[in-house]
Structure 1
Amino acid sequence: MIAMAAVMGIGRFVYTLILPGMMEGLGLSPADAGLIASANYLGYLVGAIAAAGGWAHGRERSIMLWGLVANVVLSAAMGVTTSLTVFMIIRFLAGVTSAFVMIFLTSIVFSHLAAASRNDLQAIHFGGVGLGIAASSAMMAALIAFQADWRAGWLGSAALSVIGLIVAAVVVRDGTAAGSGDRREPELPQSRGLLLTTLSYGLFGFGYVITATFLIAIVRAGEAGRLFEALVWLITGVAAIASPFVLSWLARRIGLLGAYAVGCLVEAVGVAASVSLGGYVGPLLGGVLLGGTFVGITLLGLQAGREMAPQSPRRALAIMTAAFGLGQILGPIAAGYIADWAGNYILASTIAALVLLSAALVALRAGAAAKSP
């Protein structure tokens, strides 16, 4: 959980919190901001595809730890440059790092939980994303009190990430559990249910990432103040901690893909609310509904993919992450250019909400396909 907080909640999503300061301090446009974000997600896609191969067999723990080291270095590097090109290179490498850590750490954790018959604890692992978001919000609030600029945000993120590295090095003592990592996985099965689930996951990646990237920029455009920006992201993080628990509870009652679809529908409401309600209510509701769903949806999607490919869980994890990454690459680029053209984020967020509705419908069809003979 703490390692996920470092590499995902902080290393990956702190960009959303720091972005408005970068845009003001460096004169970055929404299109520029979208390019930096998409470079990170391109790295995430490349890392996910690379992780699908067999080269990491037996080395999951060491790769994960080196990824956490890289996360610290790359976060600090963002605070010592002002070049758009260098920002994109750093965030690309950070994307590769986050994919490696997420996939290999998750494969380790999930294998040990399966061996102990405690899959109910998977939600704690993914709750780390929200923990990192909340921690970075508290850090930024403290920096705002000292009138620190965006550079301090990145350096502070690196310092927080060191904690995750140390904890992971001490606590994660083994690789994948015995019996789960002692053979190379076969190819993924030819399954319409898995194909549709992967497609839905890619649509979800596109739909959620627009608000996840620009939510605080939307708040900044409303001139509500920097402390309110930190509050919105803090609430997003707290909701994200609860998200996997709430949606996992729902999944036990209506099924993985049913709960996944409900999550996408609720998130679509939050995405629309963030730009349609305005004032303080819109961003706060958007943050609660975004945080309260996206981590849980991520977890349920990965669980569904693993269930449909029980003999190749790591390959399923990687291919789902790759689809997710492709959606994330396209989302910020599209949203940035649309926002530049429209002068606001309303149209981009409306498109994101519609894509999330599509993800829900495709997930329901995937569930029906998985049940058919």
Structure 2
Amino acid sequence: MGIGRFVYTPILPSMTQDLGMTKSAAGLLASANFAGYLTGALLAATPALRGARRRWLLLGVAVSAVTTGAMALPSSIVTLAALRFAGGMASAFVLIFASAVVLDRLSAVGRPDLAAVHFAGVGTGIAVSAVLVSAVVAWGGGWRALWLASGLVSLLALPAAAALIPDHIETGGAGPSPAAPGSRRLTAFAAAYGLFGFGYVITATFLVAIIRGSPAVRSLEALVWVVVGIAAVPSVALWTAIAEKIGIARAFALACATEAVGVAASVLWLAPAGVFLAAILLGGTIMGITALGLIGGRRLSTGDPRRTLAVMTAAFGLGQIIGPAFGGAVYDATGSFLAPSLTAAAALLTGAILVAGTARTSTF
């Protein structure tokens, strides 16, 4: 999933150059992926979706890998957008069903601390995709070779997941803390999660393009995305450890504020130190905030957590849809990512304030 969702960022500059795409078109392709993500999240929450969670999870992994590799074939924006939409749906299925399976199992055996290992998979995928892109480019591969190689590597996860996830998964244990669906805390948390989706995704989509367009740091293009991936791997363990000390709400707010600094640095400090700071703060918070949002949403839900996880993911997905389209359109109008990036930083700070407000009356 980390490869399928995030490899678009390092491939984007060469892809847009070869196809003559505007930044608006590039943003719309990213938004198509996130529209699929939103659709998948809503579908995963419907009672009509029957069958074992393991089956839907493995199907999502397979579709994500196939649609990633298939991006190498067409040149039509419409076809590319359709593939990204399907890949987005698959990503939502993977995240929701994998999280439901893993978090339930960890709750049943009294090891919620191991959730960090589960969520670190996405960061690992980002790091793998960064190294893969650098290697293929070094061997002279173009953007089509990059998509094909990414799809093939993603496909390796399918037999591993099938072998490691048993057919029958025990559930049980204490279950999530009781809270009425639609409570004020859950509403605020979901809104903040949507603002996070908008706030991170502009930089996550266009960071490599920003660097390529800046002569002072252009030579760091490949390395910066590797740094994002490396920083992402331990981020969940870091932020869940912080949450254990100060509570999920305060940790979520602190992580959003930290990410806002990185997002702002990506356009305000276009020097080596600035872009590496942006990469570390972006990579070091994306999956941490994602994990805190899903873990927190589960604790605020009752019964089957799938619906609450899907609602949280849908809010996140809506923010992601708006972000790239907005960023690309503003760039085409102004020639700069300054305004959209600072708007994104403001959204992250707003989300931090929303969630911090819930922490004043709760240890959550």
TM-score strictly above 0.5: yes
Within 5 A, what are the aligned runs for 1:186-265? 189-223=181-215, 228-265=220-257
Cα shift readout 1:164-218 (whole Å, capped 9, x = no counterpart): 11110111123542348xxxxx996231111110011001110011111111111
Report whether the alignment pairs 1:38 with 2:31. yes
Letter paired with 1:148: G
Within 5 A, what are the aligned runs for 1:119-138? 119-138=112-131
Aligned to 2:156, the other structure's residue is in SS state helix
Report whether the alignment pairs 1:327 with 2:323. no
Q: 1:273 aligns with which of 265, 269, 275?
A: 265
Within 5 A, what are the aligned runs for 1:34-183? 34-174=27-167, 176-179=169-172
Distance 1:224-1:54 versus aligned 2 partners, 3 A rule = farther
Map of 2:279 onto structure 1? 287
User: Quick one: distance in 1 between partners of 2:58 and 2:215?
Assistant: 40
- Worse-matched range after superposition: 91-100 or 186-195: 186-195
Distance 1:294-1:113 versus aligned 2 partners, 3 A rule = same
Distance 1:49-1:209 versus aligned 2 partners, 3 A rule = same
Report whether the alignment pairs 1:350 with 2:350. no
Report whether the alignment pairs 1:317 with 2:306. no
Map of 2:296 onto structure 1? 304
The alignment-based identity, stated in percent, is 46
Cα shift readout 1:214-271 (whole Å, capped 9, x = no counterpart): 1111111124687732211111011111110111111011100100000000000000
Map of 1:364 onto structure 2? 356
Distance 1:371-1:239 versus aligned 2 partners, 3 A rule = closer
User: Quick one: distance in 1 between partners of 2:216 and 2:82?
Assistant: 32
User: Quick one: distance in 2 between partners of 1:135 and 1:197?
Assistant: 31
Letter paired with 1:359: G
Aligned to 1:300, the other structure's residue is in SS state helix
CA-based RMSD of the aligned residues comes to: 1.9
Gaps of 5+ in 2: none
Cα shift readout 1:131-181 (whole Å, capped 9, x = no counterpart): 01111111111112112111111001011111111110111123542348x
Q: 1:55 Cα deviation (Å)?
A: 3.2
User: Quick one: distance in 2 between partners of 1:17 and 1:337?
Assistant: 20
- Worse-matched range after superposition: 291-300 or 187-196: 187-196
Letter paired with 2:42: I
Cα shift readout 1:61-100 (whole Å, capped 9, x = no counterpart): 1111111111121011100111111111110111101001
Distance 1:175-1:64 versus aligned 2 partners, 3 A rule = farther
Aligned to 1:45, the other structure's residue is in SS state helix
Within 5 A, what are the aligned runs for 1:15-26? 15-26=8-19
Q: 1:312 Cα deviation (Å)?
A: 3.6
- Worse-matched range after superposition: 305-314 or 25-34: 305-314
Gaps of 5+ in 1: 1-6, 181-185
Number of equivalent positions: 360
How high is the TM-score relative to the length of structure 1?
A: 0.93
In 1, are the aligned partners of 2:66 and 2:155 still within 8 Å (CA)?
no
Q: 1:279 Cα deviation (Å)?
A: 2.6
Q: 1:59 Cα deviation (Å)?
A: 1.4
Map of 1:4 onto structure 2? none
